[in-house]
Amino acid sequence: MLPIEAVRERFEALAAQFTPAADLTFQAVDAGGVPAEWTGPADVATEGVLLYFHGGGYCIGSIPAYREFTGRLAKAGRCRVLSVGYRLAPEHPFPAAVDDAVASYRWLRRQLGPQGSIVLGGDSAGGGLSLALLIALRDAGDRLPDGAFCLSPSTDLAKEGASMTSRAAVDPLITRESTTRFATFYLGEDGDPKHPLASPLYADHRGLPPLLILVGDCERLLDDSTRLAERARQAGVEVDIEVWDEMVHIWPFFASVIPEGAAAIERLAPFIRARLGRSAIG
């Protein structure tokens, strides 16, 4: 297998092909000791913020690689996005990413004040991190965000979902070997793959805010979403899950090249706006 540095370089080169819209602005900020970046159109219509965590198996991905995508989210939601550059494994194993997520959220909450609205978003590992953040905040007694959406979230680092096998022939992006390697980097050789802040599938979901989950039917992580949704519903959480036919892992990230990706972002827009308290705008 390629060294992790080479995998990162390949992903960054792929993402560099996607150019952000010209009417967006980007501003780096220190979010409670965590590197982050404000993204948004000039005509932002709300003080609410989408706090976004990128994917990459907790080992790859970056703020720059996601600029085109977070820019699309900002325009669709007509809101500011704070994109978080949490620390990556293996240099910074679990729970570094969770610690950074908590620190960035608390910083943002202080900036917005008591009336500010926050929605969480994330794809793949970032989706799992969003869920872990909700659990950590609830357990610590913090005020929770107003909702969260997850795109193809990674929720089970134990890899016990049946789709890891049943979708093997139709998933062109995810392999058991790659996900196991990244999970080991993140957890360490002796880490617990069912720790609730590493694998939110196994957490207590009571008291979490409304969730929207989009997942493709052609991805090995399908059951990470379907099982999470079912367990959260059993715990009384409001969950809306959509399984998109013939879609692969994190297909919305490729919105600039496939129409289904753009359609998925448009599907997210009313959820973001409604949870930020602006369902009547735009």
Closest CA to 235 of 214, 198, 209, 215: 209
Residue type, 271: F
Angle of the 125-140 helix axis to the 96-112 helix axis, nearest 10? 70
CA within 13 Å, CB half, 247: 24
Selected catalytic residue, list 104, 124, 154, 225: 124
Structure tokens belonging to residue 237: 């959480």
Q: How far is CA 31 from CA 117, 149, 158, 176, 282, in A?
A: 17, 21, 31, 34, 29
Determine which one of 54, 195, 205, 249 is catalytic: 249
Tell me the two tokens of residue 151: 């795109």
Q: Is 152 among the catalytic positions?
A: no
Does 124 qualify as catalytic in the annotation? yes
Tell me the one-letter amino acid at 209: P
User: For the chain, where are the E strands, in sequence order?
Assistant: 24-30, 35-41, 49-53, 80-84, 118-123, 147-151, 211-216, 239-244
Single out the catalytic residue among 54, 68, 219, 225. Answer: 219
Q: Among this protein's residues, is 249 annotated catalytic?
A: yes
Cα-to-chain-centroid distance, residue 195 = 18
Element holding 73 (H helix, E strand): helix 67-77
Closest CA to 252 of 23, 101, 52: 52
Give the burial class of 152: count Cβ atoms within 10 A of its Cβ; 0-12 exposed, 13-18 middle, 19 or more buried: buried
Where in the sequence numbering do the catalytic residues fall?
124, 219, 249
